[in-house]
Amino acid sequence: MELSHLIVDAVWRPSFVLKYHELQNHLHPSSSRIGPPSWHRSFLNPRNRVDNLDTTSSRWRVDGATICGNCIYAIPLDLLPDLPPLRILLYVADQTEYPTALREGLDACAGVPLRDGKAISQLGLAKHLCRALDHHCARDPNFLQQYRQLPFGSRLVFEDLTPDVADMRLDIERDYDIELNMETFQSLQQSWPDVSSDAWPPTVDIYDLRLIQQLNEAISLVEAPSHQSVIFKAATKSLHHMYHELHFLLTCPPHPHVMPRPLAVVTKKSAFGGKVGVVGFLLHHFKAGSLRDILPARQRARTLPNSLKLRWGRQVASALVHLNRAGTFYSDLRPDNVLLDSEDNAILCDFEQRGNWYEWCAPEILYRQYAENIRSRLPERVISSPFDRMLKGYTNPHTLATSTCYTSAETPIEARNRAWFALPTIAQEKAAVYSLGLLLYTIFEGLSNVQRNVANQFPIEPDLEFPTIRRTPDAVEKIIKQCTSDVPDWQAIGLQSESSRVVRVGSLLYPEAQTDLPRDTRETFDTIMTSFLNFWRIELARAEKFLDSPEWETGDFGTNRPRLYEVLEALENLSDVD
């Protein structure tokens, strides 16, 4: 089965059990999306092939794409170097909507899991879109002038992809939501009395910034008025999360391994109404990047001694202890949220509190996340479902401090991350300990992720999965086991349900034990769909069974896990791990 945004969005989450029949009908072989294509759809038919992907003279550049590859960071070169970071992104239809020949000829499905901007820019799809944008600019000489005046976060949309770029119509969707809902700098100051007046950084207008590169949907590398290269963290789909992170960074006591306070608050005058609102903030640029790519690259190059791994583990643990003592928790721990400074020191970043990927979550977090996903996708008209007991069981929080969950008083941050906010403070700490154990595993094994998943393909994929140990010293392995004591079987290969998982092989999905199945047949399609359905049924059964556990009744989760400060002490007491 070929990857697409539609497929990944469905199969990566437990709500797949609700979408199973709908997805089967949508992707049935009779729809011409599965099985050998007819001649008029075949890649062998010259009429269906793109005859030119040469972009050497293109006036557009692709910096990357969001998850699943249907939102492209396309940059107009003619507006550089004076283009402000307006976060205008290019959207294309789901890969299942492309003609079969174009999917193959443009590497469209191969781009779905890619997370490396350079690799994405080399795809046939990226080159074809650049040529289509060139054609549109030639047809409409005023387009680039209009582009610079678009509201922040607007969209360019190619609804249909065709072999001939002249047949591709570009729609412009002006999005006023972010600018209409921005808070002014003064209103934030009034709303946050806990931020001292001297803690506020200066403001800078977005038109005084110059875009250098779009790194992801929310982060741009820009040139500040001081001519310094800095990071611009902007609002994406939720202003609330951007403001939450800004407030956190302004109030959190400084720590050498936590992201420093913002350099400036970025404002923009609304194109509709004239309000000057806060649209983001500037952060220090850590040029080395994140551990996600550094760990496997240096492990492969044999430039990653255990002494350095131990230092990074200690530094991250000390940052988590600091946050815990400051009265908060960190829910997003994984290698891509740990940066390195110029002296190879670890720096924790990303404090939006959106929560983590499933493979990084302790059971008390994971199973409530399953319930939240099912609840969000269940039609309101459904009075009862096979998941009623699970949904009701995971509704109530375990602490009075978060009793606003599922009420009108619930904040958008709590609503987005109920699994963490519903826990007592000590349980939040123990959940962070679980994630820290997994991070220590990736550090000492030199991995980009704790396990492979269907949605993300990193420049260097993990060559083994938790809890398999290959390189970790015994003393560190003991600490990891203590942090992740809830893993049922440390002798198992990978965290998986009793039935075989479905795994990604390039841009294709297969049952883990049947990666030699023939491609594009009805039998293979049915086997993969059934494997996914069985996988999630077992996982949801485990989530329901967890409601009968003693810790769920008491809310006393992770009793066998150490405290954060105990993990830090254990790491500091290790004198030699080489």
Q: What is the CA radius of gyration of the chain?
A: 24
Mean pLDDT of 421-447: 97
Least confident of 29-33, 84-88, 196-200: 29-33
What's the mean per-residue pLDDT of the chain?
90
Cross-strand partners of 231: 221, 283
Q: What is the pLDDT of residue 36?
A: 60
- Of 224, 158, 152, give the one whose Cα is nearest residue 181: 152
Integer Cα distance of 315 and 274 in angstroms: 45
Which residues, at least 6 apart from 536, have a Cβ–Cβ distance to it below 8 Å? Answer: 14, 16, 17
DSSP per residue, 188-238: HHHH-TTS-GGGPPPEEEGGG-EEEEE-SSSEEEEE-TTS-EEEEEE--S-
Q: What is the pLDDT of residue 399?
A: 60
pLDDT in tens, 522-537: 888 889 999 999 999 9
Q: What is the pLDDT of residue 449?
A: 97
Mean pLDDT of 74-82: 97
Q: What amino acid is encoded at 540 in this protein? A: L
Structure tokens at 333: 């721990």
Structure tokens at 264: 């400036």
Beta-sheet pairing, 203-205 with 508-511? unpaired
Mean pLDDT of 41-55: 70
Q: What is the pLDDT of residue 28?
A: 60
Is residue 5 within 8 Å of 112, Cβ to Cβ? yes
Integer Cα distance of 334 and 443 in angstroms: 10
Integer Cα distance of 249 and 251 in angstroms: 6
Superfamily of domain 179-285 in CATH is Phosphorylase Kinase; domain 1 (3.30.200.20)
Per-residue pLDDT band for 40 (boundaries 50, 70, 90) equals: low
Mean pLDDT of 423-434: 96
pLDDT in tens, 194-237: 999 999 999 999 999 999 999 999 999 999 999 999 999 998 77
Helix (H) or strand (E) holding 496: none
Residue 395 confidence (pLDDT) above 50:
yes
Domain ranges of the chain: 36-174, 179-285, 291-573
C-alpha of 225 from chain center = 30
Higher pLDDT, residue 275 or 99:
275
Is residue 144 within 8 Å of 76, Cβ to Cβ? yes
- Of 374, 364, 486, 378, give the one whose Cα is nearest residue 421: 364
pLDDT in tens, 137-147: 999 999 999 99
DSSP per residue, 98-127: S-HHHHHHTTTTTTSSB--HHHHHTSHHHH
Integer Cα distance of 455 and 442 in angstroms: 19
Is residue 262 within 8 Å of 283, Cβ to Cβ? yes
Q: What is the pLDDT of residue 520?
A: 77
CATH code for the structural domain at 291-573? 1.10.510
- Of 429, 437, 475, 465, give the one whose Cα is nearest residue 313: 437
- Of 365, 363, 370, 334, give the one whose Cα is nearest residue 535: 370
C-alpha of 363 from chain center = 20
Mean pLDDT of 158-172: 93
Mean pLDDT of 131-135: 96
What would the 3-class secondary structure string for 429-493 be?
HHHHHHHHHHHHHHHHHCCCCCCCCCCCECCCCCCCCCCCCCCCCHHHHHHHHHHCCCCCCCCCC
3-class SS shares of the chain: helix, strand, coil, % to 5: 40, 15, 45
Integer Cα distance of 250 and 253 in angstroms: 8
Beta-sheet pairing, 502-505 with 508-511? antiparallel
Indicate the SS3 state at residue 355.
coil
HSE value, Cβ hemisphere, 13 Å, CA-based, for 26: 14
Which residues, at least 6 apart from 313, have a Cβ–Cβ distance to it below 8 Å? Answer: 439, 440, 443, 444, 476, 571
- Of 397, 529, 361, give the one whose Cα is nearest residue 10: 529
Least confident of 72-86, 285-299, 502-516: 502-516
Q: What is the pLDDT of residue 67?
A: 79
Structure tokens at 506: 């390039």
Residue 383 confidence (pLDDT) above 60:
no
179-285 and 291-573 share one CATH topology? Answer: no
Residue 499 confidence (pLDDT) above 70:
no
Per-residue pLDDT band for 408 (boundaries 50, 70, 90) equals: low
CB neighbourhood size of 161 (10 A): 23
The whole-model pTM stands at: 0.93
Q: What is the pLDDT of residue 322?
A: 98
